[in-house]
Structure 1
């Protein structure tokens, strides 16, 4: 086969060009990510049972939904979180590689089966099923620097004018204002109980009046067909429709008296435009803000999605009202961009060093040109199979290419050395190439198959670890395979064209090469002395091998182990908690203390703090808060103290001193985006014996206590709470009925006055 390409070198070059072109076309269309896609796809089911406790939500909402969703196709596990604000969040995790759209449809079908068993209040508000990632790609903060607008206006403006445009971007899985619909504008009707009592009215009277009068009634048409002969016009009849202002709501008639007087809504209530709930407060660098979260689809190109979002926000920024600005307060694509850039630089550096080393040893520009051309063909050609295998451009696949440089160059060197040896015997370059390839073709194929056999089993490793290193191993195997093809096609063709008999004149570098050759010969002689020492007696070689194996065993036991090294990803996270049942006002005070501590760190570019929300549990809690900390770029944080790991340590020390009203702690982001919400790992305890939540809490506390005593754990904690202080309202149903009070009206009134309706 090699003789064919020696006679027709253009065919070999065309094959190489085709390999490069296909590789470049594939490269331009490949997604870019930090790591291979190894995170289990998630589908989130959320519902709200307004005013219910966490136990009530678990029993009446979570349990029926879980019973139906359990066992859906390709599901690996599910986890529900029920909070005291009446919210249920069920996360259903699927096998890696599952089609997320199909998983979403299957879960939706199962949830539909459970709808009939849910309380009416839950079905009325709706049960949401949507694809989800556990951590946002971008955070965008909308602020009013001069305080012209409050956070309520900013949140509503973002909901109406920004979110829809961002959600349409290809690759965006979810774009939302933090808190969702609870932060949207709503008409608030604050009832005055004393006035109701004085006028003999009840909450159901007000509810009924609003429902009857705040309606859009399609009145119909005048002159519509069928109509009398001669009808010349048709008019659509409009009625008043829904109310829009507080004044219009105030004019709702609650009761008409026999004397002609009327009780209006404004007589018994204070009406204002506010938000649906007041459960969350967000701030950017101590300034009130609206916080937008952008989540990407699991199979989307994160860098491309982020680029489109930034371009869209730049366009939206031109039409923002005066004194309204947007800030990209967290960009998780920065470490991806920087990491890929560093690896690409390393790739070119390694390629240059390999070519330099080859030139120094071959001492011929023509001979060096052959591996210098063969190596890029092998590396670029490897990208051609990426789309077929579902691979992406990521840290591990590029590292595989860096390692492959030193492997694939060997085949070309073998060809060059073999042809050079034949030419020294007096053959022409063409004859020497044909003769050399008859001798080395078999070894080239054998060594390539041996190398492929080493890396392919790595790709077959089961679990997340196997999927993580699959692209690394396959990338090297493909590069080696293409290298062997080049060694049998392109390298002999180039050797026949380029190689010339060795000349005594080595040019300007002749003196350097002479010195190098003498030094290398001396080093070789000393190495051979050492080699003979171990090969003369088998015992010596055995002792050396045993020592090496023993050293490896010791290193494996001494060195710390881990899944993926914790790196500086350009941002860190923090959380703060107050005692159970602490109010949102107290949480805001602690948030200000946390922000004051953060402001002392020059390495932090901006901080986005949220009171009333915990990303650790993905629940809205009045006694919890969360902070996203975007660090300055790496070139602005050259000192060791400004490394993300050290910033976390310094923050924790500062929080211990500066936060008095609660507990605050900082931690790093997850090593692999999508696997959790922070560094470290998470585990679940299950109570399979049917005991009470208090029993599970007791066992959990004991487990955490033991874990904290273990030297391998820096800190273990749980967010599970069953002893949150609550008030029990004991209603005497029999007495209420005896007094002629409807139980439904009684429950509605309690819910309205206490915010549960």
Structure 2
């Protein structure tokens, strides 16, 4: 045996079996324990260097939104430090502006700069609502549940809200949102003839409704029994409540209400939003993964709720799932497990048949130990089990299986030449250490350019 092989790391580990066994036990036990704490998600969480500005402009056409909202915001934020690109879009009743930041820009500072720039705009139309400025959030949608049938929009929305609340009651689901439905709206319609007959204007009616629909704290009142909290609770949420708003009173008990002049009814905003499934009107509930929740447990919770809720649905209404991304994740995990079992069997079968059983067992055991070692380090390196890391595991599994066979065969060949068990193990591993490591490095080199790709695609 050469001097380098006698004094190398491989030789030291071979001679000190206690240290090798302790390391093996640490990798096995630590990997099994930490595997329960590894975050599972569809794709890695990333920070989007984008600031979103949303300005509602009720009743405006896309052209009016562009002229009054989008162009003004684009002009205000385009010259800010750290801004790479500004993209505005005008829809009916709302304008959205996406401000993309340069690489390396502090997103919090950029957010404050954009807020200040938007607040300085004085040319917004009078009917435009308060702008919303926030950093873009990359949410992890797992699955969508669809409720469809021959029902009107209000009935479908109520079923969707009930399903959303039922899903949120499950401890495995934290975030669920309705989709494919128009926002609610309370419309108050007053004919011009009624306005002229009572000598009123729409501005007067709007002011009376605004003053009558408030919920404000009024302070506290100290009494011998303690403090009494005063509060004006006049919040109104449905059309019938707005219909009872008093517009005028004559002091003798006579009152003029909204219902006396016109009609207050519940409805939906006039937007081009609709959803269909299997040719029927539908409402969609999107379910997201949050925190340490796994895609599989979130999807299973949705399927469990559907099984319980199907019996309570009205006649002609059904439930279905849509865009189940957990299936991709589940399939990738199953593929990794199948390949791992096949790899272990292949190594044990090849080395056991053509070499010897003892060598085959220990070489095979090195494959799961290497993966458990990866699980041991993943939480500390903030690496999750996701579609990308699972692909890396599958690629690595093939490399580990191939290298295990190469190392095991070389050790057996030296043993057949008359070397002792220790000499054959050390020299056999040392001889192929360089080519084995370079086989791994070539794969790393093939994917390393991805580290230098900027931006979000």
TM range (shorter): 0.7 to 0.9
Structure-1 residue corresponding to 2:4: none
C-alpha deviation, 1:187, in angstroms: 3.0
Moved more, 390-399 or 103-112: 103-112
Higher RCO structure (Cα 8 Å, ≥6 apart): 2
For residues 450 and 43 of structure 1, what CA distance do their matches in structure 2 show?
Answer: 44
For residues 108 and 306 of structure 2, what CA distance do their matches in structure 1 show?
Answer: 32
Structure 1 position 151 matched with structure 2 position 153: yes
Structure-1 residue corresponding to 2:114: 110
For residues 115 and 160 of structure 1, what CA distance do their matches in structure 2 show?
Answer: 38
Structure 1 residue matching 2:329: 3-state secondary structure: helix
Structure-1 residue corresponding to 2:445: 457
For residues 45 and 112 of structure 2, what CA distance do their matches in structure 1 show?
Answer: 24
Q: For residues 604-626 of structure 1, what are the alpha-carbon distances to aligned partners after superposition, in whole Å with 9 as ceiling and x for unaligned?
A: xxxxxxxxxxxxxxxxxxxxxxx
Structure 1 position 88 matched with structure 2 position 95: yes
Q: For residues 262-320 of structure 1, what are the alpha-carbon distances to aligned partners after superposition, in whole Å with 9 as ceiling and x for unaligned?
A: 543223212222234454333343444332223446x8765157347528946995997
C-alpha deviation, 1:361, in angstroms: 2.6
- Structure 1: unaligned runs, 5 residues or longer: 424-431, 468-673, 676-757
Instruction: Decide whether the 8 Å contact of 2:51 with 2:100 is kept in 1.
Output: yes
C-alpha deviation, 1:151, in angstroms: 3.0
C-alpha deviation, 1:443, in angstroms: 2.4
C-alpha deviation, 1:415, in angstroms: 2.2
Q: For residues 234-254 of structure 1, what are the alpha-carbon distances to aligned partners after superposition, in whole Å with 9 as ceiling and x for unaligned?
A: 766676723455454333333
Q: For residues 77-132 of structure 1, what are the alpha-carbon distances to aligned partners after superposition, in whole Å with 9 as ceiling and x for unaligned?
A: 4532212x132223355689x99xx8478436522431231526576444252544
C-alpha deviation, 1:337, in angstroms: 0.9
For residues 95 and 398 of structure 1, what CA distance do their matches in structure 2 show?
Answer: 33
Q: For residues 587-638 of structure 1, what are the alpha-carbon distances to aligned partners after superposition, in whole Å with 9 as ceiling and x for unaligned?
A: xxxxxxxxxxxxxxxxxxxxxxxxxxxxxxxxxxxxxxxxxxxxxxxxxxxx
Structure-2 residue corresponding to 1:418: 414
Structure 1 residue matching 2:20: 3-state secondary structure: helix
Map residues 180-219 of structure 1 onto 2, 5 A cutoff.
Answer: 183-184=183-184, 186-216=185-215
- Structure 2: unaligned runs, 5 residues or longer: 1-6
Residue among 307, 330, 333 paired with 1:337: 330
Distance 1:105 1:312, change over 3 A: farther
Instruction: Decide whether the 8 Å contact of 1:155 with 1:291 is kept in 2.
Output: no
Structure 2 residue matching 1:162: 3-state secondary structure: helix
For residues 169 and 64 of structure 1, what CA distance do their matches in structure 2 show?
Answer: 44
For residues 389 and 235 of structure 1, what CA distance do their matches in structure 2 show?
Answer: 54
How does the TM-score come out when normalised to structure 1?
0.49
For residues 379 and 140 of structure 1, what CA distance do their matches in structure 2 show?
Answer: 36
Map residues 51-450 of structure 1 onto 2, 5 A cutoff.
Answer: 51-66=59-74, 77-83=85-91, 85-92=92-99, 103=107, 106-107=110-111, 110-117=114-121, 119=124, 121=126, 124-129=129-134, 131-133=136-138, 136-142=141-147, 147=151, 150-155=152-157, 158-159=160-161, 162=164, 166=168, 175-178=176-179, 183-184=183-184, 186-216=185-215, 224-225=221-222, 241-243=234-236, 246-255=239-248, 263-277=256-270, 279-296=272-289, 303=295, 306-307=298-299, 310=302, 313=305, 317=309, 327-362=320-355, 364-393=356-385, 394=387, 395-404=390-399, 405-423=401-419, 432-437=420-425, 439-440=427-428, 442-450=430-438
Residue among 45, 55, 58 paired with 1:47: 55
Q: For residues 18-65 of structure 1, what are the alpha-carbon distances to aligned partners after superposition, in whole Å with 9 as ceiling and x for unaligned?
A: 223333334333344566668956554322122333344334433444
Distance 1:7 1:207, change over 3 A: closer
For residues 78 and 376 of structure 2, what CA distance do their matches in structure 1 show?
Answer: 40
In terms of fraction of residues, the more strand-rich structure is: 2
Structure 1 residue matching 2:144: 3-state secondary structure: strand
For residues 366 and 233 of structure 2, what CA distance do their matches in structure 1 show?
Answer: 78
For residues 135 and 232 of structure 1, what CA distance do their matches in structure 2 show?
Answer: 52
Structure-2 residue corresponding to 1:489: none
C-alpha deviation, 1:464, in angstroms: 7.5
Structure 1 residue matching 2:145: 3-state secondary structure: strand
Cα RMSD after superposing both structures: 4.5
Distance 1:194 1:167, change over 3 A: farther
For residues 14 and 308 of structure 1, what CA distance do their matches in structure 2 show?
Answer: 39
For residues 166 and 83 of structure 2, what CA distance do their matches in structure 1 show?
Answer: 31
How does the TM-score come out when normalised to structure 2?
0.76
For residues 90 and 398 of structure 1, what CA distance do their matches in structure 2 show?
Answer: 40
Distance 1:71 1:388, change over 3 A: farther
Instruction: Decide whether the 8 Å contact of 1:152 with 1:183 is kept in 2.
Output: no
For residues 80 and 303 of structure 2, what CA distance do their matches in structure 1 show?
Answer: 39
Structure-2 residue corresponding to 1:481: none
Distance 1:109 1:366, change over 3 A: same
Distance 1:332 1:357, change over 3 A: same
For these two proteins, the number of residue pairs brought into alignment is 443
Instruction: Decide whether the 8 Å contact of 1:158 with 1:290 is kept in 2.
Output: yes
Q: Rg larger in 1 or in 2?
A: 1
